Structure 1
Amino acid sequence: MTARPSRRRFLAGLSVLALAPALAACGDDTDSSPAGGSGAAPEAEPSESGAFPVTIAHKYGETTLEQAPKRVVCVGLTEQDALLALGVVPVAVTKWFGDAPGYIFPWAQDLLGDAELPEVLEDTNGVQVEKIAALQPDLIIGQYAGLKEKDYQLLSQIAPTVAQSGDYADYGAPWDEMALTIGRAVGQPDKMQALVDDVKQQVADAAAAHPEFQGQSALVVTPYEGLFVYGPEDSRSRMLVDLGFAFPSEVFGGDQEEFGTSLSAERTSDLDRVGVTVWLDLESDPSVKKVYDETGSAAEGRFFDISEDDGAYYVAHSFVTPLSIPYVLERYVPQLAAAVDGDPATVPPEAAA
């Protein structure tokens, strides 16, 4: 059974960008002995010939790795999926939203095998430096992340640390680039490239099977401080573009420094000018829902809602990783097809899984 996700954690990405407290130089005062991931590191796939040494550029400079890491700590929110796809079980992951043992979700659990579950870190009060140090990592990685430079400097004193890309907004790098960076860091760039190519082909095949997506605009939104619009650099928006849709920059602006923007609830009426609206938790704010219910978009059925009741699918939709994407596509594409036809009689299929 999949536990229901927490909406507070779902919005954690917003909080990390705007509200997270500064990292205390002394770390946190919680018990630093790990509850999991404390045993010997699991056996990972052997690194590819010539994979090391490797130097990886990121937001705060470059990090050189001399050999394949055996104890990897994830300080980003989704890196565990790419690692598991390569046979690397992290010793620690960072809690985001949803719930699953070790924060390994259904689309990735088969790859965990009999390995020990990762320690689960919390980042609501800053990076847990002491806990991370106690885990004795030989790689700390944060790709879907918003590490501050002070975080990076502290973590680098523990182990080689690969922060998020500096080429995009925090939490805004494309999923494939993040995955390929992880592949390089653990010495399996070719295997990751093959996996990324396969998943991208699945997305391309879905787009080709639905030519009606081409030329239509689509947007992911959620009620949060009014209407929160996920911007063009957000991974959920990127997925819609990869499926053939266009980001409606003429309606909500195209050049956003961060991965999204909160607008007044009244702006919900502007969704009338968007081809398809993908809601996350539409029912969570009655004032936003009231405005939307009066739009032509709602009357014509050009929307659907992915909510906490959809369980693992709700979480997977926001993960956007090489493992979660195929899991999402089989549910997401039929929902988009039902919404894009503009016929309110077309009922999007059930998505819960």
Structure 2
Amino acid sequence: MNPTRRRFLVGLSALAVAPALAACGADSSPGAATDTGGSGAAGAGGAEEGAFPVTIAHKYGETELTAAPTRIVCVGLTEQDALLAVGLVPVGVTKWFGDAKGAIFPWATEALGDGALPQVLDSANGVEIEKIAALAPDLIIGQYAGVTEKEYALLSKLAPTVVQSGEYADYGMPWEEMATNIGAAVGRPAAMRTVVDGVKALVAEQAAAHPEFAGKTAACITPYEGLFVYGPEDPRSRMLTDLGFTFPEILQGDDGEFGVSLSAERTADLEQVDVAVWLDLNADKAVASVFGKTDTSKEGRFVDISDADGDYYVAHSWATPLSIPYVLERYVPQLAAAVDGDPDTEVPAA
């Protein structure tokens, strides 16, 4: 039986909270805007000509927006990165995991500039309606989210609200579609298109540079109540397929677009996967023991990303226009080392 997506994400963050993040410079990201507004609210105005009015379809209908927002609250888990990429700073964001102040991580600090850190909300028990109301938002965004219909009804009374698409599993929208919706909602669609195109070009460049990825199967897995396999709609899996890998059908569940829970014994099925990308492999000794007996393990065809990897560990799960370039610099060399099947090829540290 699969956990609900929200329960899984909250449970995973509790199991794997990254340590205090080291104070280090952020890597620059293709297409990131430089106008950060310099305040806790989105920069006043700044909408592109003809950007409004705009109507955005989502899981619970449509939301019409008529003017550029100045106070944006993110009820999804990662939307702040897309906003920062086009020069806007939200007044509120939602905590997922990691200890970065304001939930602004090293890959996004350059885009933040001298902007004020947003207030951090906690969605462990659902969206915090009263705290959101106190922020006086004029736009509420939830794309990497599982906003319920009841929550949407409450939020939309506070401000125009754009939630996740109904065309995908909750938390399953492609990163570029989330970013595109955000760009449209804030009146900067062309600026966001430039950002998205730059990041997509970078991913395509990496895929072209590694033709050995094409046709190989790869899956992202974590020990969680046995074994949790991230499904083909999950951003982590989408990253692998964007780089040329294919999703292994043997790990596909009946309702596994977001992911599926398997028994620890099913770890043996990874024998038939070309590359296994683990999140916290050693968090469960029984799972690690079974995996250690597979050829996938013996031939070094795996990557293990854990909380010991700090910022990279968090970034790997975000899949945003700002985090993707940061991840690729570390991730691609690891995948290249794992896919060759030579146990003597050491997978580099992040």
1:51 CA displacement: 0.2
Check conservation: 1:41, 1:70, Cα contact below 8 A.
yes
Counterpart mapping for 1:1-353 below 5 A: 13-15=5-7, 41-43=41-43, 46-249=46-249, 251-253=250-252, 256-351=255-350
- Asked whether the equivalents of residues 45 and 86 of structure 1 are also in contact (C-alpha less than 8 Å), the reply is no
Q: Output the CA distance in 2 between the equivalents of 1:333 and 1:322.
A: 17
Aligned partners of 1:45 and 1:88 also within 8 Å: no
Once residues 271 and 225 of structure 1 are traced to their aligned partners in structure 2, the CA distance between those partners, rounded to angstroms, is 17
Partner Cα distance (2:160, 2:266) in 1: 45
Instruction: Give TM-score scaled by structure 1 length.
Output: 0.88
Counterpart for residue 30 of structure 2: none
In the TM superposition, what is the alpha-carbon distance from 1:253 to its structure 2 partner? 2.2
How much does 1:43 deviate?
Answer: 2.1
Q: CA deviation at 1:18?
A: 9.8
Give the Å deviation of 1:292: 0.4
Per the TM alignment, residue 279 of structure 1 is displaced from its structure 2 partner at its CA by 0.2
Give the C-alpha shift of residue 110 in structure 1. Answer: 1.0
Amino acid at match of 1:187: G
Q: CA–CA distance in 2 between the matches of 1:140 and 1:324? A: 22
Specify whether residues 17 and 99 from structure 1 end up closer, same or farther in structure 2 by C-alpha distance, changes over 3 A only.
closer
**Contact persistence 1:218–1:240 (CA under 8 A):** yes
SS at match of 2:124: coil
**2-structure distance, mates of 1:298, 1:18:** 29
Could you say what secondary structure the match of 1:337 adopts?
helix
| Partner SS state of residue 278, structure 2 | strand
Alpha-carbon distance in structure 2 between the residues aligned to 1:13 and 1:44 = 35
Q: Deviations over 1:204-249 (max 9, x none)?
A: 0000000000110000000001110000000000010000000011
Kindly indicate whether the alpha-carbon contact (under 8 Å) linking 2:146 and 2:171 is maintained by their aligned counterparts in 1. Answer: yes
Percent identical residues: 67
Q: Contact 1:12–1:97 (CA<8 Å) still a contact in 2?
A: no
Report the residue type matching 1:349 in the other structure: P
Partner residue, 1:34: none
SS at match of 1:157: helix
1:232–1:254 contact (8 Å) kept in structure 2: no
Q: CA deviation at 1:116?
A: 1.2
Distance 1:42 1:242, change over 3 A: closer
Q: Taking structure 1 as reference, are residues 134 and 325 closer, same or farther at Cα in structure 2, changes over 3 Å only?
A: same
Q: CA deviation at 1:323?
A: 0.4
Q: Distance in 2 between matches of 1:104 and 1:87?
A: 14
Q: What TM-score, normalized by structure 2, do the two folds share?
A: 0.89
Indicate conservation of the 8 Å contact 1:269/1:292, yes or no.
yes
CA offset at residue 265 of structure 1? 0.3
AA partner of residue 124 (structure 2): T
Cα distance change of structure 1 residues 40 and 194 upon mapping to structure 2, 3 Å threshold: closer
What runs of 5+ residues in structure 1 fail to find an aligned partner?
1-10, 20-38
Residues 64, 257 of structure 1: CA spacing in aligned structure 2 closer, same or farther, 3 A cutoff?
Answer: farther
Specify whether residues 169 and 190 from structure 1 end up closer, same or farther in structure 2 by C-alpha distance, changes over 3 A only: same
Report if the CA contact (8 A) 1:169-1:257 is conserved: no
Count of matched residue positions in the alignment of Structure 1 and Structure 2: 321
Tell me, what secondary structure is at the counterpart of 2:158?
coil
Gaps of 5+ in 2: 12-38
Deviations 1:224-282 (A, max 9, x none): 01110000000000010000000011x11276454001100000000010000000000
d(CA) in 1 for partners of 2:266, 2:286:
12
Structure 1 runs of 4+ with >3 Å offset: 11-14, 16-19, 254-258
The answer to whether the Cα contact below 8 Å between 1:102 and 1:120 also exists between their aligned partners in 2 is: yes
Amino acid at match of 2:7: S
The two structures, once aligned, show a CA RMSD in angstroms of 1.7
Quote the Cα distance in structure 1 between the aligned partners of 2:301 and 2:256: 28
3-state SS of 2:93 partner? strand
Query: Which residue identity does 2:278 align to in structure 1?
Result: W
2: CA distance, partners of 1:95 / 1:168: 22
| 1:137-181 alpha-carbon deviations (Å, 9 max, x no partner) | 000010000000000000000000001000000000100000000
**Match of 2:308, as an amino acid?**
D
Asked whether the equivalents of residues 269 and 295 of structure 1 are also in contact (C-alpha less than 8 Å), the reply is yes
Whole-Å separation in 2 of the counterparts to 1:326 and 1:313: 11
